[in-house]
């Protein structure tokens, strides 16, 4: 399936791909001396960080946070010779509470105490335990907040327990979820959920094109969406430009070898098609973006040939290019421009408090802040011209919800255009 969010609230933990930015969590390089005692049969096993990480992700804790917390637990308890499963469970619960993961902490306790899980049978006859946390997370496609999503997932679980069901099909879970969304959030949200289910079953890939100027949160948002939508292929245009720099010398394409907001300083006046339309800094930016577009087109073509979903993010994805790619692709292409609309907040992002940047880079960004702001103004103007959705980045949660809402709206339009079959009542 091209873009799966675990719509039935399940995840096959053994087959789920792991991010490459951190070590594989299925085993620990550092041998654990701490022994975990199972009170039921008095068995002893070493504490394994990977097992705890997997348990936390199953209840909705993002992978990187789960991995970090599991590492902290291991380090905190490293001097202890042994701990019982109930003591470890309580310790992890309190650690989640301290980090404000209140819903996830409760889900963790419930999952650990659940002796007879509800098994969900998928269309391929694979049976996987029902997960309220993953169902709650998947409902973000309806752009509802975490509390509302958690309430709906809890209601679905309560209905299953009330009926004393130990085995249920994924279709039945989806139907019950649809009914609860409609009752608690309204028909519009329920139809968004239904359209997403239909799109996922269609097997059609989704391509997210996330543009925006330096420091607005494109990379953070992209990583968040990739994790929640289970999209394993992501690409940054900055990385594409870096590869092109190694292949093309500065003398041949000088604009590739500097920042997007400084490209105009290294190209001769009037040497680009863009210079006749928009002189100055914007002309240099468009010149650089036009060169990087060749690499972007290659990445998109491969994703389309392989029929896989993709997130492509970067400053070079301006609305004109987004519109061009959208019209030429058979995949569902969802463009968006991320923006920070307040100067003080954008300066805070650029200073390094909103993103991880070196002090030298932060100073350089602030030195050229007016150019960065001008570039953002241009991108917003072009977004309005090409009807590209604008995602205002005030914080991670609001940006994610706005992006999910945008994706949901594109899916709904696509479903109507292609007459996807939806779940039957």
Residue 313 placed within a domain: yes
Residues 98, 232 within the same domain: no
- 156-169, pLDDT tens digit by residue? 988 887 777 788 99
Residue 219 placed within a domain: yes
Query: Taking the CB of residue 140, how many other CB atoms lie within 10 A of it?
Result: 23
Instruction: Look at the chain and report how many structural domains it folds into.
Output: 2
Say if residue 117's pLDDT is above 90.
Answer: no
Say if residue 17's pLDDT is above 90.
Answer: no
Residue 383 maps to which CATH number?
A: 3.40.50.300
Residues 228, 354 within the same domain: yes
- Higher-confidence residue: 274 or 98? 98
Residues 108, 224 within the same domain: no
**Predicted model pTM:** 0.69
Lowest mean pLDDT among 73-77, 241-245, 360-364: 360-364
Ramachandran class of 177: left when φ > 0, alpha when ψ lies in -120 to 50, beta otherwise: alpha
Residue 187 placed within a domain: no
Closest CA to 314 of 226, 407, 391, 209: 209
Q: What is the DSSP string of 67-120?
A: HHHHHHHHHHTTT-SEEEHHHHHHHHHHHHHHTT-HHHHHHHHHHHH-SSPPEE
Tell how far CA 193 is from the center of its chain. Answer: 18
Residue 128 placed within a domain: no
Residue 276 placed within a domain: yes
Residues 105, 234 within the same domain: no
Scored b (16 or more CB within 10 A) or e, 200-235 reads bebebbbbbbbbbbbbbbbbbbbbbbbbbbbbbbbb
Residues 224, 359 within the same domain: yes
- 286-318, pLDDT tens digit by residue? 988 888 999 999 999 999 899 999 999 999 999
CA distance 389 to 380: 9
Residues 102, 214 within the same domain: no
Residues 213, 324 within the same domain: yes
Residues 105, 211 within the same domain: no
Residues 212, 107 within the same domain: no
- Asked whether the beta carbons of 5 and 192 are under 8 A apart, the reply is no
Residue 285 placed within a domain: yes
Residues 352, 212 within the same domain: yes
Last residue of a domain, one of 58, 92, 113: 113
Residue 23 placed within a domain: no
Average pLDDT over the chain reads 81
Residue 197 placed within a domain: no
Instruction: Give residue 384's domain range.
Output: 205-394
């Amino acid at each position: 399936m091209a873009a799966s969010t675990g719509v039935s609230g399940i995840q096959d933990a053994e087959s789920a791909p792991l991010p490459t930015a951190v070590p594989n969590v299925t085993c620990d390089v550092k041998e654990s001396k701490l022994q975990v005692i199972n009170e039921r049969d008095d068995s002893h096993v070493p504490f394994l960080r990977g097992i705890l990480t997997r348990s936390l992700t199953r209840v909705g804790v993002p992978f990187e946070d789960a991995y970090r917390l599991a590492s902290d637990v291991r380090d905190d308890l490293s001097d202890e010779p042994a701990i019982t499963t109930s003591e470890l469970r309580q310790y992890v619960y309190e650690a989640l509470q301290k980090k404000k993961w209140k819903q996830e902490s409760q889900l963790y306790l419930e999952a650990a105490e659940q002796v007879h899980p509800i098994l969900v049978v998928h269309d391929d006859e694979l049976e996987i335990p029902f997960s309220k946390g993953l169902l709650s997370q998947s409902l973000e496609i309806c752009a509802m907040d975490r509390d509302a999503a958690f309430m709906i997932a809890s209601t679905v679980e309560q209905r299953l327990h009330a009926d004393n069901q130990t085995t249920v099909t994924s279709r039945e879970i989806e139907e019950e979820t649809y009914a609860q969304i409609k009752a608690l959030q309204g028909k519009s949200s329920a139809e968004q959920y239904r359209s997403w289910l239909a799109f996922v079953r269609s097997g059609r890939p989704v391509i997210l094109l996330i543009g925006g100027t330096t420091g607005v949160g494109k990379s953070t948002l992209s990583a968040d969406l990739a994790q929640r939508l289970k999209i394993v292929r992501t690409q940054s245009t900055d990385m594409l430009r870096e590869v092109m720099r190694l292949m093309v010398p500065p003398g041949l394409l000088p604009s590739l070898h500097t920042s997007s907001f400084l490209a105009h300083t290294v190209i001769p006046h009037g040497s680009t098609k863009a210079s006749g339309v928009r002189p100055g800094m914007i002309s240099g930016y468009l010149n650089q973006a036009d060169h990087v577009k060749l690499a972007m087109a290659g990445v998109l073509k491969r994703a389309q040939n392989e029929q896989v979903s993709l997130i492509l993010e970067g400053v070079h994805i301006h609305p004109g290019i987004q519109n061009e790619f959208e019209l030429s692709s058979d995949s569902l292409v969802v463009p968006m421009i991320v923006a920070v609309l307040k100067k003080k907040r954008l300066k805070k992002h650029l200073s390094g408090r909103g993103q991880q940047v070196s002090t030298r880079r932060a100073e350089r960004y602030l030195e050229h802040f007016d150019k960065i702001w001008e570039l953002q103004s241009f991108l917003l103007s072009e977004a309005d011209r090409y009807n590209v959705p604008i995602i205002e980045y005030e914080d991670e949660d609001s940006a994610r919800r706005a992006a999910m809402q945008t994706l949901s709206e594109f899916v709904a339009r696509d479903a109507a255009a292609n007459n996807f079959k939806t779940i039957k009542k």
